[in-house]
Amino acid sequence: MSLLKNEIVVDNFAGGGGASTGMELGLNTHVDIAINHDPAAIDMHKINHPETKHYCESVWDVDPVEACAGRPVGLAWFSPDCKHFSKAKGGTPVEKTIRGLAWVVARWAALVPMRVFMLENVEEFMSWGPLLEVSPGVFKPDPDRKGETYAAFIKCMTTGLVKGHTAWPEIKEALGEDFPYHKLEKGLGYKIEHKILTACDFGAPTSRKRFFLVGRNDGQSIKWPNPTHGKAGSGLKPYLTAADIIDWSIPAKSIFNRPKPLAEKTMKRIAKGIMRYVIDANEPFLVSSEHVLPFITEHANASKQRNMKADEPMRTICAQVKGGHFAVVTSHIIKMRGDNVGHATNEPLQTISAGGNHFGEVQAFLIKYYGTGTAQSIEQPLDTVTTKDRFGLVIINGDKYQIADIRMRMFEPHELFAAMGFPADYKIALDSNGKKNTKKNQVARCGNAVCPPIAKALVKANFDQVEAIGIAA
């Protein structure tokens, strides 16, 4: 079934508009209401979704009855803050109010007619349970009661929660005194299913995994979209990769001779990445038009700082780390044939004469790729040569290449938005007053967003794309 006459679409926790974009693409109509407490998020949403009515306030401060004004909700989307469930949070304390944000789903369902709802969060959302106060005002999840509150939430939304359940104090703390709790005791009557979906399976160049829960009370079955993209040989469209969204026109700085040297850990991580994805790779990924061998390195403050291939989907993009915590590292190479020389990726290849003597100095570096070695200039004598050639020789399809330089830059916001699957024309650079959005603000909107392609696929699977009364198909 499509949207019915007079039904509206609501995006709670709307952020910069990822879920709204996906819903609009899936329904072929605009989102009617968007709610978010962050002025910067609402501003970006407003620029890209001008037909939507925006509420810049807490989801708890918006009265569903007043906002809907008698109109039934055909689809409501909920993406409550995930960081206090995420395993990336580690063992750090969590906030009770943030972990309880999902109860706003029950609030909407109890107060207004809501036919279908969708909830998105991290996989650990299913571990939602009571908290232990480990010190005054400091709370951590009770390891012995994982999933208890989540189970209570499902009972409230379906068949009902018994009066003596241990979750009632938390529920009442979240929903307040003037709430029709008898509806939760009886159950709100939704059919509910959940799945873990990966964004790259639906055309976004990121391997971001998320928990999706769908509820509906109209007697219709819940449908899950089939993947449209997959690995080579799967019979599906090939995965979009990081290489597809990297803007190769943006110059990157050499990792050597910087006014402020890169941190030792960063250099070690780059050296490991060069070894794995360039020197020792059976088939290194070559951007032939740019003469670079790229890979991606991670800059998050995590225990496992990783490198990854550039020709695979991006890993999950984080909102809290400047630059989205990923950088592209490019090995600039020259072909060891004739008189070829290395050059910047943003410069055209110069004409090579037979003599090859009219070029200026080409500053090249050799990297010791074993142990904790560092860079050395070609003007210096080579260190002891090991039994394995580790001084930047790369063989690609039988041709020999030499690494001339290694460069690194953080991803730009427009690349990160592309990795999340936002449309190319999505407006992120300027705010509604025409002022430049900071890079930090842009990245925050991106890292907190729902991937539009996966939202589109989920909505399309549950709402037939046919013309409905009052709705343009």
Mean pLDDT, the chain, integer: 81
In tens, the pLDDT along 400-449 reads 777 778 888 888 889 989 989 999 999 999 999 999 999 888 988 888 88
**Rounded-to-integer distance, Cα 189 and Cα 351, Å:** 73
The single-letter DSSP state of residue 59 is G
**Rounded-to-integer distance, Cα 353 and Cα 334, Å:** 16
In tens, the pLDDT along 210-258 reads 999 999 999 999 999 999 999 989 999 999 998 888 888 888 888 887 8
Q: Could you give the 3-state DSSP secondary structure of residue 25?
A: helix
Return the beta strands (E) in 122-277 as ranges. 131-135, 138-141, 191-198, 209-216, 229-230, 237-238, 253-254
pLDDT at 329 over 90: no
**Rounded-to-integer distance, Cα 450 and Cα 211, Å:** 11
Average pLDDT over residues 45-56: 97
Q: Which long-range contacts (CB under 8 A, 24 or more apart) does 340-347 make?
A: 341/404, 342/291, 342/404, 342/405, 343/291, 344/251, 345/248, 345/251, 345/252, 345/290, 345/291, 345/292, 346/249, 346/250, 346/251
**Rounded-to-integer distance, Cα 160 and Cα 154, Å:** 8
Amino acid identity of residue 467, one-letter, is: E
Q: Could you give the 3-state DSSP secondary structure of residue 147?
A: coil
Bridge-based pairing of strands 326-335 and 292-298 is antiparallel
Give, in degrees to the nearest 5, the angle at Cα 10 between 472 and 98: 160
pLDDT at 179 over 90: yes
Hey, where are the domains in the chain?
Answer: 8-235+425-462, 248-411
Which of 32-46, 154-168, 280-294 is predicted least confidently? Answer: 280-294
Return the beta strands (E) in 374-436 as ranges. 375-377, 393-396, 399-410
* Strand partners for 198: 209
Amino acid identity of residue 376, one-letter, is: Q
pTM across the whole model: 0.82
CATH architecture of the domain covering 8-235+425-462: 3-Layer(aba) Sandwich (3.40)
Average pLDDT over residues 336-347: 38
In tens, the pLDDT along 374-408 reads 444 434 443 433 334 445 667 777 777 777 788 88
Q: Could you give the 3-state DSSP secondary structure of residue 239?
A: coil
More confident residue, 328 or 73: 73
The single-letter DSSP state of residue 91 is T
More confident residue, 66 or 306: 66
CB 151 within 8 A of CB 70: no
In tens, the pLDDT along 266-295 reads 888 888 888 888 878 888 888 866 678 887
Give CA separation, 346 vs 101, 336, 342, in Å. Answer: 48, 21, 12
